[in-house]
Structure 1
């Protein structure tokens, strides 16, 4: 299936000529969301042009739209038509041009979706005490009017922004939505057009806030988040690179906050002689436990160690939990379970372990054997368990494992997507997933700047359906997820996007290197079925 998105610079967004960020523009993200939800490849052609109007679009419509033979045309204009000093059009011409675009598409059997433009804000150089917004609103009403006349689908981006102060604050120059909003726009459009294409209703994701937790000269990566005794804790690895096999490079930082905005250092934990990695948190009564699967450069083995605190300040440990790589422990009643793997040659094995105190663990069963199975997230739903497992053997698509209490026998089915570093919670009847996703097929090589992303998904049966991509690039993901009051979710993750994109988040691009050390971020979202 092919969709053409016709518009101005807001449509073009980060998809300019030779820009590596074309895959991070909202039309490109829209294509990935629709593909995973419809179960077929959906290509979205970005036919946005800087400074364009409906008049100029009509002059290029054959070349930029109809030669692609689209099944659907998304049309969004108005900012330049209403506000450009040199290219502005009367509202009458603007409205007639919209009708003509729709008629030309209808003649060729192409369905049309109209989008209203986003509003302008005080940052716009010609805001003129709000008079430019008042003028733009008349053009917005014209879009709504034409869509209503023709019975066409309307995606009201203007209304979405008008009712959300945070979104308006992210219109970087008062007219162009910034990098952080590309996934927001893509999710909103996908939720509106999916039923039109015979697809499912796609849950909407609202981004309430994005917090930069840590960005410095260290390689900060691999996160988790927990709430304990009314305080929030974020943990991550601090090193000089992603991985140095011959050096004990990593330590574990623990930050603490009362409001998810301001963070202070609570601890830096070290396993002497080991590279401490992939920390996970477990709030267990009067203790907060931290697990760090670690690598010994000398012995060339992996082992998970635990630290714990009773006051959030003084930590005891490390305590060895065995030669396993733990993922995220989960409580079920009085028991704690963890999916732990052993990477040994070609026969990688995934075991289920359980504990009562979080320190002494015993074997329950082998959940899966082979395929280089590794990072595996557990979720309990009553007496049932579901697990998402990363695999490295081609085709690398994640495994969905299921079992019932006492969890000794597990079924396994292959999902539809490559997903790495999974996190998973139940939220409003949905299984919401976060993890590393890819803009194209991953070969197993180094991550290029535009290659990997942090995605928000849902798991339905054995299918992973992408809902949104958080601002992310380069080395990214390893999220933690924490349900909050009011139906919100805190998602911790790491990403290099600010390193690559620079101050203006648009024109600067530098090749991949370990020098682009990632930072730690926290997204506050809500998912609406």
Structure 2
């Protein structure tokens, strides 16, 4: 069975080391808290600087038109950060920001729920009114206004990736844009969206025809794609693979649910991150290696309650930064805060 799993990995262009490297987690610190609900992080390197993005909302986690996206920059490998941009979209909750370096520009993509001029109740959340937006910059200083992404109406967009001169997004939607009450769960489809310019999008493929949810893509040099997909309805996450032209997809259930999944290649290993919930410890932000067709946890980051959605950027072959949000701390008055955190990862160099 082990040999068969290895053959599947090789066929799709991915080889996971049988003995993943040991990792030390250090320099854990809170890097942002402004009294608002801060969540859904991502990290990237662009023009020799690091960038961190997340949603911030004075009214909380749910759908509010007061939400906005903050972009921060570091010139010293993450030691200090300065805010360089903040944007919102009128009458929409702007959330789940993700970076993409594409055609010499830094894009920040965000999914937006329609909220109208005020708060709406969860029963009135309508995926059919979702719409993707982006801002971009060629220097990290001057940013465009939020631009509506053509082809994303009715789609909840998520993490972005680039391969072969094209950009890719995860987009999820109701089959046939079905009209009905919230609670879609198993009915939601996940699509791979494709773009030539980062702004105009079209469907490339279905990769989850039911139970679609947040999905992160990882491309190899031959165009093989490996994805970690959260599975709608709280089921275990899926390991999803395909090769060009992405007409056939291999799906395998992992041994845990993963909220806000991350998948990146670091050296010769594949790192998977996201929220892991157990009865004993509750919800925690977890980091794992992908070994064969399963994940092996190597770190549980300080976290609790509302948390996860990690970002990652390599500083060297043996050092990296990871970002996440969490509500495990309280302020001086004993009130729970939801803040942004960073930690440094150090891994053993293979001989």
How high is the TM-score relative to the length of structure 1?
0.55
Contact kept in structure 2, 1:377 and 1:388, CA below 8 Å:
yes
Following the alignment from structure 1 to structure 2, what is the Cα–Cα distance between the partners of residues 419 and 244?
20
| Residues 314 and 321, structure 2, Cα contact 8 Å, conserved in 1 | yes
Contact persistence 1:241–1:517 (CA under 8 A): no
Of residues 382, 386, 411, the one that matches 2:226 is 386
Point out 4+ residue stretches in structure 1 off by more than 3 angstroms.
200-203, 241-245, 343-346
Residue 410 (structure 1) aligned with residue 249 (structure 2): yes
3-state SS, counterpart of residue 217 of structure 1: coil
Say whether residues 1:497 and 2:317 are aligned partners. no
Paired with 2:19 and 2:138, the residues of 1 have a C-alpha distance of: 45
Q: Counterparts of 1:366-381 in structure 2 under 5 Å? A: 366-371=206-211, 373-381=212-220
Mean Cα deviation higher: 468-477 or 457-466: 457-466
CA deviations 1:483-516 (Å, max 9, x no partner) are 22242121111112222xx78xxxx9x7xxxx52
Deviation, structure 1 residue 221: 0.6
> Which residue of the partner structure matches residue 35 of structure 2?
217
Equivalents in 1 of 2:198, 2:34: separation in Å?
33
Deviation, structure 1 residue 215 = 1.9
Is 1:277 matched with 2:108? no
How big is the shift at 1:326? 1.8
Compute the TM-score of the two structures, normalised by the length of structure 2. Answer: 0.82
d(CA) in 1 for partners of 2:20, 2:221? 26
Q: What is the distance in 2 between the residues matched to 1:527 and 1:453?
A: 21
Check if 1:451 corresponds to 2:268.
no
1:237-275 alpha-carbon deviations (Å, 9 max, x no partner): 010244334x31310001111110111110111111110
Aligned residue number for residue 445 of structure 1: none
Greater Rg by CA = 1
Partner of 1:117: none
d(CA) in 1 for partners of 2:307, 2:19: 28
2-structure distance, mates of 1:440, 1:462: 24
Mind listing any 5+ residue stretches in structure 2 that lack a counterpart? Answer: 1-17, 117-124, 179-183
- The equivalent residue for 2:7 is none
| Cα deviation digits, residues 209-236 of structure 1 (max 9, x gap) | 2232102311111101111111111001
Aligned to 2:307: 476
Displacement of 1:201: 5.3
Residue 340 of structure 2 corresponds to residue 520 of structure 1: yes
Aligned residues: 308
SS in 1 for 2:228: strand
Shifted more, 456-465 versus 414-423: the winner is 456-465
* CA RMSD across the alignment: 2.2
For residues 165-211 of structure 1, give each alpha carbon's deviation from its aligned partner in whole angstroms, at most 9, with x where no partner exists: xxxxxxxxxxxxxxxxxxxxxxxxxxxxxxxxxxx856421124223
Which structure: greater strand fraction? 2
Tell me which moved more, 272-281 or 295-304. 295-304
Q: Larger RCO: Structure 1 or Structure 2 (Cα < 8 Å, ≥ 6 residues apart)?
A: 2
CA contact (8 A) 1:203 1:467 kept: no
